[in-house]
Amino acid sequence: MPHLTVFLKIPFDSESLTHSHTAITFTHWLPVGRDKGIVVQDGDIRVLLWFDEKCTWWASQPTSDELKKYVNIDARYIYADVQVRGLGPDLLKYIQTRDFSRIPEKVDDPLQLDYIKVARDVLTSAIHRVNRLIAFSRSYKGQYWLSEYKIDFDRLRSYFCAFEGRAQVDDGPTFMFHPSQTDVMRVTTEGEDRYVTESDWPALSEFVIGSSKPQLIGELLAGSEHLLSIGHYRSAITEAVTALEVAIFRFAGNCNADKAFAPHMAQRLALGSLKSQVDHLGLSATVNYLLPTILPEELLPASVISECQFAISRRQTIVHNGQRNVPERDARRAVSAIRACCQLLEKVTDVPAEGDHNSNVGR
């Protein structure tokens, strides 16, 4: 049965999909050629990762022998030859003859969908193995400047364009392998509470003129949401949980009892010991047991507190159990709930963060 081979040239700049200075660094040696490559067989898909001397070319163009004299050899990209078996003749013919000057006809929809599925499988297999190469270089060799790819199937066109996707069937002529003519763009807008209003201007002006530090909780939350936006879901959760911890300990030390509790509860609680209790219990027990007990539902809804409990549990799994893959949906749930909880706690906390002029979280 004929097989399809897709040839990709994958840069190590995973953030912008461009050939840049980001590189895996070797010393006095580079595994040049397909015969020194890494081969992985995964069902009907075979991946070969390999380098040539051109991967190192930048200001100069050393030969393979000359590379042996170099202390640091920067390989800026890697080749991936992805071989796929088990494809039908109609699909192979469609992939070879796909006319990119026009939108596919309705009658071609089934073949186009199969083409996209093949492209997804090819991309997933190649990137998974490249990410493992990056992960080894980061964790075992300390090459912290490398970052793993986050696959976004809405950007299939961008990936295969950036990777200079070509293909061939058996030993036939090569042809362009671009499964899609367009990318899918998803646009989200933030609520108006994120925007600077006229009433914010005096406080903003005073902050610009002054020398006070930015608000820690808001800075942590903004950092978490930035990490979320670029697909770093594990880091986004850990940063958000740090913001929640700061907000809770600040609340415990500067609680406004009249705002936080019902009158009878405010009288019964020994607020002077609240901070020591939170210190004693720690973050997890405070969120799981103390806050739901002392704060009323109308101030801190059960839905918010349960999502925060979920976020802390996720963070514990990431930090202590080494969880690597965090679903985007889980990360967004966690960060959103923590922002809501921080804003609610701030309303019943007397002292603004670090002497800020405007203590509104994230504003």
pLDDT digits (tens, 9 = 90+) for 287-310: 998 888 888 888 889 999 999 999
Q: Which residue has the higher pLDDT, 359 or 323?
A: 323
What is the predicted pLDDT for the residue at 143? 92
Average pLDDT over residues 59-63: 89
Q: By percentage, how much of the chain surpasses pLDDT 90? A: 47
Average pLDDT over residues 230-246: 91
Average pLDDT over residues 53-57: 92
pLDDT bracket for residue 106 (50, 70, 90) = confident
Average pLDDT over residues 263-276: 61
Is the distance from CB of 349 to CB of 256 less than 8 angstroms?
yes
- Long-range Cβ pairs for the range 152-157 (8 Å, 24+): 152/231, 153/120, 153/123, 154/183, 154/184, 154/185, 154/186, 155/183, 155/184, 156/116, 156/119, 156/120, 156/123, 156/180, 156/183, 157/181, 157/182, 157/183
Q: Quote the CA–CA distance of 277 and 181 in Å, as a whole number.
A: 59
H or E element, residue 79: strand 77-84
SS3 42: strand
What is the predicted pLDDT for the residue at 150? 84
What is the predicted pLDDT for the residue at 17? 55
Q: Which residue has the higher pLDDT, 190 or 359?
A: 190
Sheet holding 4-11, edge to edge: 38-42, 45-50, 77-84, 4-11, 166-169, 175-176
Burial (CB count within 10 angstroms: exposed 0-12, middle 13-18, buried 19+), residue 215 = buried
- The contacts of residue 11 (CB under 8 Å, 6+ apart) are 17, 18, 19, 20, 22, 76, 77, 162
Above 70 in pLDDT, residue 263?
Answer: no
Please write the tens of the pLDDT for every residue from 18-40.
545 689 999 999 999 999 999 99
Above 80 in pLDDT, residue 260?
Answer: no
Whether the pTM exceeds 0.75: the reply is no
3-state helix, strand, coil split of the chain in percent (to 5) is 55, 10, 35
Above 90 in pLDDT, residue 280?
Answer: no
Above 90 in pLDDT, residue 243?
Answer: yes
Above 60 in pLDDT, residue 359?
Answer: no
Is the distance from CB of 24 to CB of 146 less than 8 angstroms?
yes
Q: By percentage, how much of the chain surpasses pLDDT 70? A: 86
What is the predicted pLDDT for the residue at 362? 44
Please write the tens of the pLDDT for every residue from 310-355.
999 888 888 776 676 788 888 898 999 999 999 999 888 886 544 4
Above 80 in pLDDT, residue 77?
Answer: yes
Q: Where are the domains of the chain?
A: 4-176, 192-355
**CA atoms within 13 Å, Cβ hemisphere of 32:** 16
What is the predicted pLDDT for the residue at 360? 46
Average pLDDT over residues 54-60: 89
Q: Which range among 19-33, 68-82, 175-189 has the greatest average pLDDT?
A: 68-82
What is the predicted pLDDT for the residue at 26? 95
What is the predicted pLDDT for the residue at 91? 94
SS3 230: coil
Burial (CB count within 10 angstroms: exposed 0-12, middle 13-18, buried 19+), residue 320 = exposed
Please write the tens of the pLDDT for every residue from 109-167.
899 999 999 999 999 999 999 999 999 999 899 998 888 888 888 889 899 999 999 99
Query: What's the DSSP call for residue 1?
Result: -
**How high does pLDDT run on average in the chain?**
85
Average pLDDT over residues 209-237: 89
Helices 274-285 + 233-253 axis angle, to 10: 160
Q: Which range among 1-5, 6-10, 196-200, 247-251 has the greatest average pLDDT?
A: 6-10
What is the predicted pLDDT for the residue at 102? 76
Q: Which residue has the higher pLDDT, 130 or 267?
A: 130
What is the predicted pLDDT for the residue at 120? 94
